[in-house]
Structure 1
């Protein structure tokens, strides 16, 4: 058995809809975490022109600014704008909801922030049912 000292801080959440995707974010986000997430999203875009996305943020400890400012991160975010239909964020730091509200008028996707205790409501808003693990 291999023990990982640095497990990934972004984990995919299996959903019941082929074009609905979820991620859980915990801890301190690094460049490899972000690259992994955008890689998974790129694969989703190959299968579906438009997707719905839920990001569940628990115990967020920040991110590496160098990762956030990398060219590949900006490219991944720009590409997401073309493919994400609905984007739900659950939890996160206090600035997350106001930041989404600020950018909402400038983006074509529907976005909504939910409190950490409102995960079920966020899945309902996406019309994606519950994650597969919650069967």
Structure 2
């Protein structure tokens, strides 16, 4: 398998809300996956001035932060502060504390962590449901 055959680590989840950006983060996130994520977020911001975000970590194996362009990271943080209202993370690791280091002391983003067994509560907190293939695996 070459790099063109690799499955992306960032995978969109279709939801019952147009203004909810939901993704699975599967395995290891390479720099290209990270750059792609920021592009997907920019597209969501273009469609909706305010969005909520749900990140489900599946067999998470780290992120190549050092290989993502610094300007992309800075702009990503700025734009998140401008556009994201709530962000739910599901699964291990709980990276909320790490995310807060990139944000001001009292960020306008409401961040909340949920254990994988509490996934239904995360969806409820965001007033949404997954639709399609993964919906059958989420207890509501």
Give the length in aligned residue pairs: 131
Q: Which residue of 1 aligns with 2:77?
A: 77
* Paired residue secondary structure (1:8): coil
Match runs of 1:67-106 below 5 Å: 67-68=67-68, 70-94=70-94, 96-99=95-98, 105-106=105-106
Is the strand fraction higher in 1 or 2? 1
8 Å Cα contact 2:35/2:68 also seen in 1? no
For residues 105 and 115 of structure 2, what CA distance do their matches in structure 1 show? 21
For residues 92 and 32 of structure 2, what CA distance do their matches in structure 1 show? 20
**Distance change >3 Å, CA 65–CA 105, structure 1 → 2:** closer
8 Å Cα contact 1:67/1:73 also seen in 2? no
TM superposition shift of 1:117:
1.3
TM superposition shift of 1:64:
1.2
Q: TM-score, normalised by structure 2?
A: 0.82
Q: Which residue of 1 aligns with 2:48?
A: 48
Match runs of 1:104-123 below 5 Å: 105-123=105-123
5+ long unaligned stretches in structure 1? none
* Paired residue secondary structure (1:62): coil
TM superposition shift of 1:76:
1.4
* Paired residue secondary structure (1:40): helix
TM superposition shift of 1:70:
2.8
Q: TM-score, normalised by structure 1?
A: 0.85
RMSD: 2.3
Provide, for residues 76-98 of structure 1, a one-character-per-residue CA deviation record: whole Å limited to 9, x for no partner: 1221111001100011225x244
